[in-house]
A = this chain, B = another copy of it.
Amino acid sequence: MSAAKRSGESYPPFAVTVDLAVFTIHEGTLAVLLVQRGDDPFAGHWALPGGFVGIAEDAASAAWRELAEETGLERFSGHLEQLATYSAPDRDPRMRVVSVAHVAFAPGLARSGPTAGSDAAAARWWPVEDLGLDADAPGEGSVDLAFDHADILRDALERVRSKIEYTTLAAQFADEPFTLADLRRVYAAVWGAAPDLGNFRRKVLSTPGFVVATEGRDEGDGRLGRPALLYRRGPATTLQPAMLRPDGPPAG
């Protein structure tokens, strides 16, 4: 190894890809973008969107490029970050592929339709609860994903769930301007349980720069009840102390 590194000898060639777990909130539930594979291996199975890293770009650039292609959005306004790298030797039967997985999320992606610029056979937003990721036994009632994408998606989900605990990224899921109830629904969708209303407002409003108030009120057409104040995302990035999930983070 270092011998090869020092002398510039031959080294094993790899393909390097990025895979994307793109989340959005659609009709109150957390949804992830999946594409259906046309060819073997795993023909017909659903998979995370992704593609090869080009010879002159880094993984982050490749991820941004794929994101634009798959979502059909020129300017993706949300958040993208590296998750982890998956490198099991048998993860792709055709060749030796190392995948740098990324997590992305943004508001309202599901509205414009995912297939706009996608070159996949089919693409759709799946509510994560319909994927049966928590079930230990795959098969019944669950979608079995291609390659190791179920592992990646599980890790991505946990990343998102924990990240909104100690950062302000939840606001990235909300369409601007948003009400505090909208923001709370983001937490409810991602965590599966809503934080206490009163404590939630206090937390958000007492964190400087989490949200900034606007002049407007939520004057919906047929909506009931008192109109809520509208907010935009503020400059703050971290929450301290963290917002706690109603049931707490998983052990381990």
Q: List A residues at the B interface (Cβ < 8 Å).
A: 1-8, 11-17, 35, 37-39, 49-60, 65-66, 69, 82, 84-85, 87-89, 94-96, 98, 100, 119-120, 237-238, 240-241, 248-249, 251-252
Name 17 interchain pairs, CB-CB below 8 A, sorted by A: A2-B51, A2-B119, A4-B51, A6-B38, A8-B94, A12-B54, A14-B16, A14-B98, A55-B96, A60-B87, A84-B84, A85-B100, A237-B251, A238-B249, A238-B251, A240-B248, A240-B249
Partner pick for A15 among B11, B57, B94, CB 8 A cutoff? B11
Chain B residue numbers with a CB within 8 Å of A237 are 251-252
Main secondary structure of the interface of A (DSSP, over half): loop
Partner pick for A89 among B58, B95, B238, CB 8 A cutoff? B58
Contact B6 A57 (CB under 8 A): no
Closest residue of chain B to A69 (Cβ to Cβ) is B1
Contact B2 A88 (CB under 8 A): no
